Amino acid sequence: MPSSNPFEEWVHQRIREKVKWDKAFQELLNKKGSDEITKNDLGRYKLHRLKEMVRYVYDRSLFYKKLFEEKRILPEEINSFEDFHRIPFTTAKDILDNPYLISCITQDGILRGFTSEEADGRFRRIFFTMDELLNVIDSISAALKMVGVGANDIVQIVFPFEAEWGCNYLVEEAVRRAGGEPVSTGAIDFDEQVKKILDTRPKMILGSNPYLVKMTRAVSSRYDLRKLGVKTIVLSRGCDFYPFTESMREEIEKAWGCNAIDHYGTMEAGMANAIECPYQNGLHLNEADFYYEVVDVKSKEPLALGDEGELVFTTLSRTGMPLIRFRSRDVSYLVEKSCKCGVSTLRSMGGIRRKLKNDSQSQGLLESLNLIKRLRAIL
């Protein structure tokens, strides 16, 4: 039975496809490709993909092979989530220093590299194959359907224009696959952006968090934004930390008279990790392509659901430049609960609280926040 939520159903369909062509996984689940996917099935899927990915990077990545050998870890020893948590983290510095050693294929198999400049002037690079970017488009399309994009709906995309296969192109293609009509305007002058909205009358606006917040504050005194007919604004966190508080949500929703949706995606993840549904009750996670953990800043041990710590993710489907236990430096927490939108098997994450700068300085605050949460639960 398909999920009533298009994003969750997309995840379930990915698992069904795995059942169809992977005999070992089919026997593990004891299911057919058309059967209903349960929460337990999703857990088995993630562990199965983790074991496959560990073997894959050990065989193909010089960086991970050396790392595993130094820590005396063999792929066949990874048989549980607890075993997997023995593997050391991958950091942004590792990517900065070793992008070609982390990669599992030669550069002629790479379609697009995304680049981020560091404070010291060096560049951090993440590589993607065509199949990986096509999958990113699919995942964004499913997420857009979840937040309300349907046939012939106009979506105005205000990301800065990039080179071929950049963020704006990926979202454009995702809107088309969702049945909508994309209009890319780029990050232009705020007043010019409002004129474009008046011309196109989009149902949804999608862009970076800081741009959309600044635009709202700059033009709301000169235009009645509520009369523009926008139903949803998706604010993307992007690869840097930008605050998204409930007071900011209230400010945007009051100005535009529509839903303000939080989205989280990093360059390392392919810009598509998690997004809120219209009920705005946590960001639903793409668990077809990622395994998520939240770890204690000091001990680096996985935390219980609901406890705040550093978000760590492992790619489950990338073949070009997979990442194992990548430290995002973003503070959040994970929850496991059903949502009114129909999601019942996927976990969700809270909004990103902040970006970690220094482990020792961050630990005390996180311990206090988690203690307060436990006390509130008791009281």
- Read off the pLDDT of residues 288-309 as tens digits, 9 standing for 90 and up: 999 999 999 889 999 999 999 9
What's the pLDDT score for residue 369? 52
Tokens of residue 322, six digits: 């997979």
Is position 113 within any domain? no
Q: What is the mean pLDDT of the chain?
A: 93
What is the band of 167 on the pLDDT scale with cuts at 50, 70, 90?
A: very high
- How many whole angstroms separate alpha carbon 189 and alpha carbon 196? 11
What is the band of 361 on the pLDDT scale with cuts at 50, 70, 90?
A: very low
Is position 101 within any domain? no
What is the band of 363 on the pLDDT scale with cuts at 50, 70, 90?
A: very low
Is position 287 within any domain? yes
What is the band of 376 on the pLDDT scale with cuts at 50, 70, 90?
A: low
Share of the chain above pLDDT 90, in %: 84
For the segment 122-135, the average pLDDT, to the nearest whole number, is 96
What single string gives the DSSP state of each residue in 307-323? --EEEEEEESS-SSS--
What is the band of 362 on the pLDDT scale with cuts at 50, 70, 90?
A: very low
Structural domain boundaries enclosing 328: 130-360
Is position 103 within any domain? no
CATH label of the domain that carries residue 289: 3.40.50.12780
- Read off the pLDDT of residues 193-203 as tens digits, 9 standing for 90 and up: 999 999 999 99
Is position 106 within any domain? no
Maximum C-alpha span of the chain = 64
What single string gives the DSSP state of each residue in 34-95? TSPPPHHHHHHHHHHHHHHHHHHHHHH-HHHHHHHHHTT--GGG--SHHHHTTSPPB-HHHH
What pTM value is reported for the model? 0.92
- How many whole angstroms separate alpha carbon 10 and alpha carbon 176? 16
Is position 115 within any domain? no
Is position 143 within any domain? yes
**Number of compact structural domains in the chain:** 1
- How many whole angstroms separate alpha carbon 348 and alpha carbon 211? 26
For the segment 160-172, the average pLDDT, to the nearest whole number, is 93
Q: Is the pLDDT reported for residue 378 higher than 90?
A: no
Is position 90 within any domain? no
